Amino acid sequence: MLELRKDIFADERDDNLKEIGKGTQRQDMLGHVTGTSTYFDDHKLQGMLHLKVVRSTHAHARLRRIDTSEAERSAGVRRIIRGSDVPRNLNTLLSLINFGKDDEPSLAVDKVRYKGEPIVAIVADSPREAYEAMAKVRIDYEPLPAVLDVEDALKPGAPVVNDTYPKNAFIYHDVYDHQKLRFGDVERGLAAADHVLEQRYQMSPIEHAPTETNGSIAAPDTNGRYIVYTSTQALFFSLDTCAKILDVPSNTFHFIGGTVGGGFGGKVDTLTEPLSILGAMLTGRPVRYLFGREEEMQYGPPRGAERIYIKDGVMRDGRIVARKIRAYFDSGAYTRLSSYAAVKCAAHLPGPYTIPNVYGDVYCVFTNRTPATAMRGFGVTAMDFAIECQMDKLAHLVGMDPMEFRILNAYRDGDMKAHRREAKNTALIECVQVAAEKAKWPIREEFKRASSRKEGGGSRAAIPPTPRESYAPATAPSQQRTTYDRAPATSREPPSPPPPPPPRPLAPSHGAARFSSVFGTRRR
Amino acid sequence: MAKTALQFQHNGRDVAIFVDGGTNLLVALRELIGDMTPKFGCGQGGCGACSILIDGELHLSCLTLAETVAGRSVETLDGIKEGPNLHPLQRAFADNFAAQCGYCTPGMLMAAKALLDRNPQPSRAAVVEAISGNICRCTGYEPIINAVLAAASGGRARA
Amino acid sequence: MSVTVRTFTSTGEAAAVLSSDRSARYLGGGTLVMRALNEGDISISTIVRASDHALTRIDATGSRIIIGAGVTFARILAERDLGFLHAAARSIGGPAVRNMGTVGGNLFASIPYGDFTVALLALDAVVSVQGGLGSRDMPIEEFLQTRERQTGTLVLSVSFQKPASADAFRYRKIARIKPKGGAVITLAAHLPVSSGRIAGARIALGSMAPTQIRARAAERALEGRTLDAATISAATAAAVEGIAPADNALASGWYRREVVGVHLRRLLSGQE
């Protein structure tokens, strides 16, 4: 059960709240235990057809010819859908918030860029008849060299994965091929350190493996609209994506969902809805497109792989004085949400520690692998894994207890973070202390006495002089901003001396302003 | 397509349907009987979401050829309520927060029922074994195990 | 072309269809054939069933044990005389799969499945198959080597000599998930002892080659010796000879090769 340590967080929460802090029954529990919760596939519609997709057998190939003539004549086939049937056969998910360029077709036309990419959709009376027709689709591939490694993809002469981004890296604000963080002078920090440790970390893609596979059922409604039952985790996001791809007003659709059989981030990509709706539009019948388990595991989008290099400078007394990070987020063949993942990755540097010199470069890289997507803290978890492994190694290097090493370097309230924001409500020190206590891990008295509320700020609140790198002036083009955006900040920080620490607010200020990784700070 | 007539007992009620050759029992129950409680999760026997009882024994409906249940008794989650009242297992699942997304829950409940019908006072290890063919991806095995044990001890929770 | 189900009372008629129709598959417990249909295997368009009671018979009273091909793993677990096979039967699937999956079907299960067949291989089982022209008995090794062709026959039963003692037969399945999970490696050993020495050692491995295989070099290292530390070490060292493990989602071929000796040592030395 959740335990709120009042000795540490005395003023964090009112104890007289009616619901917060109390156990409460889920509103859908009765439906779950009686099996009457309605998932998208629990809708049985008259005359429903079944859609299945022919997928690429190559990681990278030109499509010389796609012959569906025999498949069209196959028993039970109602319609074959090709890329040319899709009204706007190029999209990127975050285009709904004007972030990134359209780069992914619903059905491949001239090229396939990952193994399993959809090429042809078949709508048939039964799944069996759809399978039989799939076997009759003839595709003439011209295999192309594939690049499956993030660093190889960035080398000169690497195969171009996604023509929208010919250098195999997502381009931010039309200018930058990576996310950059600069705070202090990391090279000087490394030069002054007693020890320098450079390590390479890597995390593989992870499949969400929801028990309910991705899918949707689309049906013509009585009023010229379409009802769409879907497994999506992002109902209106999916609705708007479909409206864009199918080039119709969004009020064409009535999306019904919300009861999802496990998602974990793997059901936000709107993989099935555009084709099931298009199938319903082209046949006038309800169309169901459900991923099989094999499809879900092999071609459903995973958490993206990451490769991370960390170079740290640490003093004999355990203080980390410099942290330099180069990270590559493997987006797979298309952007989906990985551009945002790389932003989060950069926003998470250098971990919850106060380090005076921080340097980070994070790339969102295209490879001929299955496109990655959201999954529980994507962009953050791999970086955390790398940083915390590194912390253990650094502690070992300087002969310190790893718990005490973390307490020593933890950020404290009032410290300046590398993103030039004041650290508030940090509590990492207390978390480590409680973890040590629960694990019966001995830490020395001075570390037991440490507090995130003491000895922060002051010189630790200073923004250190940061060397400039020459770049073209970066004014974000208007296409990259929404009307909700504030004008880009124009203030430049002084090279030296550091400004005095900002005044500490008296009342907790969380909630007053919100930081958006994509757009910056917004007032609520 | 040639169809085959099929009669069996569905939750104590006689039903008759016509099935296409090769139709599995999961499809027959969902699409022809209209019982949506067994779920499709894999079609491979790997997840247990489609678990049902045939003549009291736990089976996977997605791997059962529909016509093999001719004349037999099929029990699904739809049949375990006692009139308007929840079955003790259903109550225990609710009380112990043993469902999150709910998709594995019908299969879990049938696997648990198969156990308790045979062994009303199972050990924790027996419960783990009984639900070992059922995958929960919201990571709820502990509350599920606790719920089955609670149901077994007549609603008195035990560690 | 849709799927046709054909049910026969006699095994002969069923076998005749299997041998003459390339698209025909025999339906045992459904865990292989129904799975293939669910995944869109359109090469199957005839499902053959047989209701002959001989297929579900167990004869475990004498020294030669006969198990009908249609016997499920749950039935093996309920049979006290087959106690030495309980570990192998229990290692397969969850309870539902054990209520459905059959001994005959397991002979056709490819990696990472087919654990029970590893046990049968170590027992030098004989497989009775019925083809279009009649039935015959076939050593299990020959059956496995020609498995692709055997879908055109009907497996009737498996039979083998009952191990002389409980200690003479050992089984171990290495999986990442317990109690259920696909095999990283499956090992079975039959170590009959005559005048204190091993005579007729059989070691079978699953997931170490395209089909279940015997570890012949390890068997030779055991033959005629007592099961002491030196013998176990010699057998362990020989375990990698003749294996060709592949990569799959559960383990790499490299890993399997690295650990097969470790697990064989544990199996032979009776370690948990």
Summarize pLDDT for B6-46 with one digit per residue, the tens: 999 999 999 999 999 999 999 999 999 999 999 999 999 99
> In this complex, which of C7, C38, C49 lies closest to B44 when CB atoms are compared?
C38
- Whether the predicted pLDDT of A423 surpasses 90: yes
* Distance separating alpha carbons of residues C7 and C25, to the nearest angstrom: 12
Residue C39 C-alpha, separation from nearest chain A C-alpha, in angstroms: 7
Predicted local confidence at residue A471, as pLDDT: 60
Summarize pLDDT for A330-348 with one digit per residue, the tens: 999 999 999 999 999 999 9
> In this complex, which of C7, C30, C179 lies closest to B64 when CB atoms are compared?
C30
- Whether the predicted pLDDT of A75 surpasses 80: yes
Interchain CB contact of B126 with C (< 8 Å): no
Predicted local confidence at residue A326, as pLDDT: 98
Tokens found for residue C203: 């070691």
Residue C177 CB partners (closer than 8 Å, separation 6+): none
All residues of chain B having their beta carbon less than 8 Å from the beta carbon of residue A38 are 36
Confidence of residue C151 (pLDDT cuts 50, 70, 90): confident
- Do C40 and A75 make contact, defined as CB atoms within 8 angstroms? no
- Whether the predicted pLDDT of B156 surpasses 80: no
Q: How far is CA C135 from CA A339, A348, C52, C65, C132, in A?
A: 64, 69, 15, 19, 8
Those of residues 271-310 in A touching chain C at CB distance below 8 A are 292-294
Predicted local confidence at residue A20, as pLDDT: 81
Predicted local confidence at residue A152, as pLDDT: 98
Quickly count: other Cβ atoms within 10 Å of residue B125's Cβ: 10
Task: Please tell me the pTM assigned to this model.
Answer: 0.91
Predicted local confidence at residue A484, as pLDDT: 36
- Whether the predicted pLDDT of C161 surpasses 90: yes
Residue range A351-368: mean pLDDT, rounded = 98
* Distance separating alpha carbons of residues A503 and A7, to the nearest angstrom: 26
Predicted local confidence at residue A17, as pLDDT: 86
- Whether the predicted pLDDT of A482 surpasses 50: no
- Whether the predicted pLDDT of A327 surpasses 50: yes
Predicted local confidence at residue B82, as pLDDT: 87
Predicted local confidence at residue A524, as pLDDT: 36
Average pLDDT of chain A, as a whole number: 90
Summarize pLDDT for A169-201 with one digit per residue, the tens: 999 988 999 999 999 999 999 999 999 999 999
Summarize pLDDT for C52-62 with one digit per residue, the tens: 999 999 999 99
Residue range C192-202: mean pLDDT, rounded = 95
Residue range C187-216: mean pLDDT, rounded = 96
Whole-complex ipTM: 0.96
- Whether the predicted pLDDT of A512 surpasses 60: no
Q: Where are the beta strands (DSSP E) in A137-258?
A: 138-143, 179-183, 195-203, 215-220, 226-230, 253-256
Higher pLDDT, A121 or A3: A121
Residue range B53-61: mean pLDDT, rounded = 98
- Whether the predicted pLDDT of A473 surpasses 70: no
Predicted local confidence at residue A507, as pLDDT: 44
Predicted local confidence at residue A481, as pLDDT: 39
Summarize pLDDT for A271-285 with one digit per residue, the tens: 999 999 999 999 999
Predicted local confidence at residue A8, as pLDDT: 79
Cis peptide before C112 (omega within 30 of 0): yes
Report how far Cα C179 is from the mean position of its chain's Cα atoms.
19
Predicted local confidence at residue C213, as pLDDT: 97
Residue of B33, B40, B60 for testing the chain A interface, max A β-carbons within 10 Å: B40
H/E run at residue C219: helix C216-222
Q: Beta strands A215-220 and A287-290: pairing type?
A: antiparallel
Backbone torsions φ then ψ of A321, nearest 5 degrees: -110, -15
> In this complex, which of B4, B67, B133 lies closest to C96 when CB atoms are compared?
B133
Residue C152 CB partners (closer than 8 Å, separation 6+): C18, C19, C22, C131, C132
Predicted local confidence at residue B31, as pLDDT: 96
All residues of chain B having their beta carbon less than 8 Å from the beta carbon of residue A210 are 101, 103, 137
Average pLDDT of chain C, as a whole number: 96
- Do B101 and A211 make contact, defined as CB atoms within 8 angstroms? yes
- Do A35 and B76 make contact, defined as CB atoms within 8 angstroms? yes
Summarize pLDDT for B125-155 with one digit per residue, the tens: 999 999 999 999 997 899 999 999 999 987 4
Predicted local confidence at residue C122, as pLDDT: 98
Residue B4 C-alpha, separation from nearest chain C C-alpha, in angstroms: 9
Work out how many CB contacts closer than 8 A connect A with B.
96
Quickly count: other Cβ atoms within 10 Å of residue A3's Cβ: 6
Predicted local confidence at residue A467, as pLDDT: 92
CA angle A396, A400, A406 (to 5 degrees): 95
Confidence of residue C2 (pLDDT cuts 50, 70, 90): confident
Predicted local confidence at residue A472, as pLDDT: 52
Predicted local confidence at residue B153, as pLDDT: 84
